[in-house]
Copies of this chain bind each other. A is one copy, B any other.
């Protein structure tokens, strides 16, 4: 441990197993290390010779970057079960560091299913959390993104599990964006309580009697308008929406290319508007948000897209460090211990609601 006046946050960064090269991942790591300086200690997790190849050729490792040897990657094609079995993979090694107290967070652009499963196995779930969830940010017209969860970790969720997603999402949005009372919406197919499926109608009641800032049902059209700060959905629906949204950028790119080729005025216009068109497409480029946090696990873990840009990796590392600083896990743990809305471990609890039911006022980012 280096002798820093501010205790550095240690983030283990998996440089293997992504669709993009280790270089691209490391480039993002370098940027994060430069930006956070002494507040960050970054550990590249991967084959030392691969890492050295890149670092020797390009630059010395900065003072705040170390290497942790991992023998191999989990391939993108492997199932979570196959992934878990690989004890010396970069995923296993990176998560083990956190379990052993040698790292505070883990970031990976590798096999999402394997990272998710290994995280739960290695770091465990927070007590009281039935199912950890993957949270993702969607762009909105006013620029402040909407947090949606779950986006793929869980299907066939029970109402109390969806309710827990709302609690975790609300805590995350409060702490990470300084919104004092995030608006929580339940994704459904109409605003009225009666609209929706069985699962959602039952979940509505749980949210309604909670002290979350529940704004009721929201619809697919409300995500990009930012009507809610947190949108709760079953992982099946959330995943379908996220993948659809992720595909919009490629769709726009193709359409822009086709259109521009057909017209001289468009060609001139397009040249002038190039930066604008890029920004337009980027509003749907999810890697800009730097990855999706797993909420409800006993640690900090962020999964990134397999094709992440260096910028996305940089953002993910910074987000991971922020999650550690804001003690997201501890806050979820405390909330779960008190605010169970009469429900514990899937059983309706006949006793009086023991929790405050209130997300505690949370200091904003600036105060921390």
Show the binding face of A for B, using Cβ within 8 Å: 139, 141, 152, 155-156, 187-189, 196-198, 200, 219-225, 233-237, 239-248, 250-252, 254-256, 259-260, 263, 265-266, 268-273, 275-276, 279-280, 283
Closest to A247 in B: B221
Are the C-beta atoms of A196 and B155 separated by less than 8 Å? yes
What are the residues of chain B within 8 A of A254 when measuring CB–CB?
141
Tell me the bound Cα distance from A272 to B246 in angstroms.
28
Q: Which of B189, B234, B246, B265 contacts A273 (CB 8 A)?
A: B265
Are the C-beta atoms of B237 and A240 separated by less than 8 Å? yes
Determine the main DSSP class of A at the interface with B: helix
Are the C-beta atoms of B189 and A240 separated by less than 8 Å? yes
Are the C-beta atoms of A244 and B243 separated by less than 8 Å? no
* Sample (22) of A-B pairs whose CB atoms are under 8 Å apart: A155-B189, A155-B198, A189-B239, A197-B234, A197-B236, A200-B236, A220-B245, A221-B246, A221-B247, A222-B247, A223-B244, A223-B247, A237-B237, A241-B244, A248-B248, A251-B283, A255-B280, A266-B273, A266-B276, A268-B269, A269-B273, A273-B273
Closest to A192 in B: B79
Determine how close the nearest CB of chain B comes to the CB of A76; give it in whole angstroms: 12
Q: Which of B141, B223, B255, B260 contacts A255 (CB 8 A)?
A: B141
Tell me the bound Cα distance from A139 to B256 in angstroms.
14
Closest 10 CB pairs of A and B: A269-B272, A220-B243, A269-B273, A220-B244, A155-B197, A221-B247, A220-B240, A221-B243, A189-B239, A224-B251
